[in-house]
């Protein structure tokens, strides 16, 4: 199986190229093309080996969720000319990511376990255990770092620094809560619990748009609903579908993206396991079998499909 580590296209009308942690982004005058590669990042570090089908999984889950939520907020999606690529409106992104949490897990749990009772200015009660539901979903924004780590930031800091106006930030909060409610509903229909997720927004012609991916295993954490209560009562780890299992493996190997730490070796077996977990989430979330796109000459396939779409415009 081939895996897509990166793309290096020169497309008709292209004005700019940017390589993110996971996506290769091609800019045009009025739109963007985002190619979801098979790169895997954790702790804001791109790991050395790519994961077969990961990009296709992310791209197709994101497209399905953008379609299912466009009645809540306009989004950037225009077309998906290839299983690994999305074309969308070119918006000016807001400099913060809207993270929303319904359960105490992942980063929030690690902060809570260290003794903190406030995350991004949001107070948390004493006595919570890992993976407990929060009294109500909380929004814990982060800055958007082009390199290095995203940083927690509070609503008050965002407004004080003038990163987003109060009126627009209130809109972002409202959209975030509505999207999380819809994502929770869709997950529940497939026997999953949407634990936490993040949304990114941009602006075009004074209109706020939802951009990037939503409700994918890279941007979200899911628990299996079946057995959740029993596992929680026994203090057992939750069975989850997300990238957290990658983070936990890295932590167990002594890596958290800190200076001087060495990324553990990624064996073929580990690569296969991670790939299968991504496919598993796709099938659980959509309720449909995952259809593997051809991986032979993968980069050429994507470029051909993109050129056909561009020529049709």
Measured CA to CA in angstroms, residue 17 lies from 9, 26, 106, 213 at distances of: 9, 5, 32, 19
* Pairwise CA distance, residues 38 & 304, whole Å: 18
Q: To the nearest whole number, what is the mean pLDDT of the chain?
A: 94
* Pairwise CA distance, residues 280 & 190, whole Å: 12
Residue ranges per domain, the chain?
94-202+218-242
pLDDT at 147: 55
Q: What is the pLDDT of residues 93-124, one digit of tens each?
A: 999 999 999 999 999 999 999 999 999 999 99
pLDDT at 135: 95
- pLDDT, one tens digit for every residue, the chain (313 residues): 789 999 999 999 999 999 998 999 999 999 999 999 999 998 888 999 999 999 999 999 999 999 999 999 999 999 999 999 999 999 999 999 999 999 999 999 999 999 999 999 999 999 999 999 999 999 999 997 655 567 899 999 999 999 999 999 999 999 999 999 999 999 999 999 999 999 999 999 999 999 999 998 888 999 999 999 999 999 999 988 777 788 889 999 999 988 899 999 999 999 999 999 889 888 988 889 999 999 999 999 999 999 999 999 9
Number of CB atoms found within 10 A of residue 222's CB: 26
pLDDT at 150: 75
Q: What is the pLDDT of residues 154-205, one digit of tens each?
A: 999 999 999 999 999 999 999 999 999 999 999 999 999 999 999 999 999 9
* Pairwise CA distance, residues 52 & 56, whole Å: 9
Report residue 264: phi and psi, to 5°: -70, 155
Tell the CATH superfamily of the 94-202+218-242 domain.
Answer: ATP-grasp fold, B domain (3.30.470.20)
pLDDT at 149: 60
pTM: 0.88
Burial of 53 (0-12, 13-18, 19+ CB in 10 A): buried
């Amino acid at each position: 199986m081939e895996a897509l580590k990166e793309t290096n296209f020169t497309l008709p009308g292209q004005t700019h190229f940017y390589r993110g942690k996971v996506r290769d982004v091609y800019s045009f005058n009025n739109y963007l093309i985002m190619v979801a590669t098979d790169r895997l990042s954790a702790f804001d570090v791109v790991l050395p080996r790519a994961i077969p089908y990961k990009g296709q999984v992310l791209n197709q889950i994101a497209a399905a969720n953008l379609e299912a939520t466009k009645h809540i907020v306009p989004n950037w999606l225009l077309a998906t000319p290839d299983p690994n690529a999305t074309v969308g409106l070119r918006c000016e992104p807001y400099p913060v990511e809207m993270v929303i949490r319904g359960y105490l897990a992942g980063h929030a749990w690690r902060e809570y376990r260290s003794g903190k009772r406030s995350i991004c200015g949001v107070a948390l009660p004493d006595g919570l255990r890992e993976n407990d539901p929060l009294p109500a979903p909380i929004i814990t924004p982060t800055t958007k770092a082009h390199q290095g780590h995203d940083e927690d930031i509070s609503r008050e800091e965002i407004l004080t620094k003038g990163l987003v106006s109060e009126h627009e930030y209130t809109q972002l909060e409202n959209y975030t809560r509505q999207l999380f409610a819809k994502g929770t509903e869709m997950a529940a229909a497939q026997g999953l619990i949407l634990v936490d997720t993040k949304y990114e927004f941009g602006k075009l012609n004074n209109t706020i748009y939802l951009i990037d991916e939503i409700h994918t295993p890279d941007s979200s954490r899911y628990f299996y609903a079946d057995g959740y209560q029993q596992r929680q009562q026994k203090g057992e780890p939750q069975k989850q579908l997300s990238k957290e299992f990658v983070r936990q493996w890295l932590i167990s190997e002594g890596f958290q993206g800190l200076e001087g730490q060495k990324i553990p070796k990624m064996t073929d077996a580990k690569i296969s396991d991670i790939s299968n977990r991504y496919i598993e989430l796709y099938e659980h979330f959509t309720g449909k079998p995952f259809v593997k796109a051809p991986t032979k000459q993968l980069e050429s396939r994507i470029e051909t499909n993109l050129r056909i779409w561009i020529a049709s415009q």
